[in-house]
Structure 1
């Protein structure tokens, strides 16, 4: 493990040479190991102190104090400037917590440099909470290089020596903030755009609670970047794979993270192409993901999690099944008598990947909506909510298929095979000419 002492190869080689000199070598080996551990603890303590100063400076909005944690060399002028910019970008953000934790020392190989002091590569976990919206911190990974100064202090020397750090909205520009009754919108776009998005979110929260109850935070945090490239950077993904996705909800699965309000990140290009109904449906869909996140587990089928979100999103819009599922309707019409063959099984998890080609992604979502519609039409909406909870509560020890079958039998009285038959029949009855 990097940073935990000498490598296994060095230890074995050194131990072999000590054996030649007899028992006295054991004491020398222990002294060498102890010295290495002491040095590591000193580096950890020094870096931790500096991270504490950085956190305090951010919370105090003290740009000068934050810049003072950077090495005072001419080559670090740009890094120091970015500390001032970070504080400026965070001016409007309501921070209840900002803290750092060292996750690993010697976390990545460092590039060679001429001169300077001893350096250490650190994986850092940033934890922050937004006032009124987070009971538990949201975390992000940073990779920071620190350098020991002549006085023994460890200062930030670089933040770009290792790729893969999580990008936050304030890393991209000055954040504007709009706070609504149930929502907090953080964005880089014009204030009027952010206010309109916040208004949609404030309508979505009570609509979602009407279906899923009040046992969730009943609040949302929306992140609104300026461009598709920024959207991709925030997700750590190629934005081209999400070109048709207007918003994405990110966060941790399961009840263990109940105190965290998950983030809805808006894709500006796709969002701007939506009409008023589309924006309403998308916002309610994503808010449903926030509300159901603590009941969404690794073994929850994607058709169920996306289906309930679409079901809730379209609820009360007055749209017919044909209007809600146009791409699927076209596929069924084109297939004719062969349509049942195309609907042999519920959509797989892979069918919902952002990069799905053509109309495949839309078809998967629409098939999922129909599956949830079948539950509600045959058993009532409360049974759809109960089915979702039953899947989450199962434990998932023997695979997704077995979990789903048990949950269906417990809540609807039918297994997966029979439910699939009902879904297919209901879908074809609604969409066939």
Structure 2
């Protein structure tokens, strides 16, 4: 027992000594204190400074917001200023939202930033999207190291230099700069200008602007629209709001996939651009009550209306399917239009023929009225009856007969 008491006393004595006997304390010098990496307040200030630089057209001020020695980031920020000036960006705002992930060891971190912008003269309203911005923190400041990435949209005009061409009602922006980009921009400006009268022959009231955005690669198209890698493989163009909104009044642009369009002859490329321009004119991105067969079939009806091409050639893919397995039992839907199936071309042709059948029945004005009625929420059965005096079953029967006759 005495031994145990002695052991306890020694233990208590050691503890008491360690607590009561003062030791010399050396504070960490201020220069060695760890730097807090994520600093939202300073990031917001950097964004405000970039916003000011864009609005004043001060590329040097924007470049100065990049990390010291990071010429890539500096060139990007200077390009954003130049792009905004060429595109006449207005209604610009950049508001810090929240950090999007753990900071890296080199002091870089990313945050979601709420960005609004509008291309004056072409967009009636501003786009609004969360964009990922990369920041770099050191003991002196928070700098802007990059724009885009993650699972959010990456506006083309904020992703690097762009080449811009315009007319009063067509705006083209092509990723990159230099002679090659200028040739691409001129080509798409011609296609855009030619698309407008094609659309207006059927929709004469359309007076809005047409904006064509041309990423340099399919991968850049995926990043621009926050898509999974390869999602737009096999797709020549996409009409969408630049912020991916489907709200009425949101700006609607055409995003072109050069990997697919470059494979087409001039007529094919023109049909694609005219098709997408029809989507812009009809505000298709917000037309949630229009069935997809009519949405796509009507756009093809407009773009092919004055093309001298027999139905047997324009509908060759769906005709081949009918010869193999008979006419479809229903009009095409989302599954048939999925590009990953490899059979989307036949779905577009089938939808186009459905619109041709309707126009043959009631005339072009009736087809336009039918589209408008569905866009305003009129039920399909009622709209068919009002414009064509048909039931859905009668439309389906006439369409299947047309397909069978073409395949015979």
Per the normalisation by structure 2, the TM-score is 0.78
Checking the alignment, whether the CA contact within 8 Å between 2:319 and 2:403 is kept in structure 1 is no
The structure 2 residue matched to 1:236, chosen from 226, 232, 249, is 226
* 1:385 is aligned to 2:368: yes
SS of residue matched to 1:111? coil
Counterpart position of 2:384 = 408
* 1:53 is aligned to 2:49: yes
Determine the C-alpha separation between the residues in 2 that align with 1:227 and 1:418.
45
What whole-Å deviation, never above 9, does each CA across 1:52-75 have from its counterpart, x for those lacking one? 321110122323322444566x7x
Q: CA deviation at 1:238?
A: 4.8
Determine the C-alpha separation between the residues in 2 that align with 1:257 and 1:382.
25
Q: CA deviation at 1:294?
A: 5.9
Q: CA deviation at 1:432?
A: 2.6
Give structure 1 stretches of 5+ with no counterpart.
1-42, 396-402
Determine the C-alpha separation between the residues in 1 that align with 2:226 and 2:285.
25
Per the normalisation by structure 1, the TM-score is 0.74
Checking the alignment, whether the CA contact within 8 Å between 1:124 and 1:144 is kept in structure 2 is yes
SS of residue matched to 2:341? coil
Determine the C-alpha separation between the residues in 2 that align with 1:190 and 1:150.
40
Counterpart position of 1:94 = 88
Determine the C-alpha separation between the residues in 1 that align with 2:160 and 2:268.
28
Checking the alignment, whether the CA contact within 8 Å between 2:76 and 2:159 is kept in structure 1 is no
The structure 2 residue matched to 1:179, chosen from 161, 166, 173, is 166
Counterpart position of 2:22 = none
> Which structure's CA Rg is the greater one?
2
SS of residue matched to 1:186? strand
Change (3 A) 1:294 1:305: closer
Give structure 2 stretches of 5+ with no counterpart.
1-38
Counterpart position of 2:125 = 136
Checking the alignment, whether the CA contact within 8 Å between 1:169 and 1:223 is kept in structure 2 is yes
Counterpart position of 2:77 = 83
Determine the C-alpha separation between the residues in 2 that align with 1:164 and 1:90.
24
Counterpart position of 1:418 = 394
Q: Decide which moves more: 268-277 or 309-318.
A: 268-277
Checking the alignment, whether the CA contact within 8 Å between 2:65 and 2:144 is kept in structure 1 is no
What whole-Å deviation, never above 9, does each CA across 1:82-123 have from its counterpart, x for those lacking one? 423443555633323422234x33x43433658x8xx99642
The structure 2 residue matched to 1:353, chosen from 338, 361, 372, is 338
Determine the C-alpha separation between the residues in 1 that align with 2:155 and 2:245.
20
- Count of equivalent residues: 364
The structure 2 residue matched to 1:207, chosen from 176, 187, 198, is 198
Taking only aligned residues, the RMSD between alpha carbons, in angstroms, comes to 3.1
SS of residue matched to 2:339? coil
Counterpart position of 1:27 = none
Checking the alignment, whether the CA contact within 8 Å between 1:125 and 1:139 is kept in structure 2 is yes
Checking the alignment, whether the CA contact within 8 Å between 1:372 and 1:384 is kept in structure 2 is yes
Determine the C-alpha separation between the residues in 2 that align with 1:408 and 1:328.
24
Determine the C-alpha separation between the residues in 2 that align with 1:150 and 1:205.
55
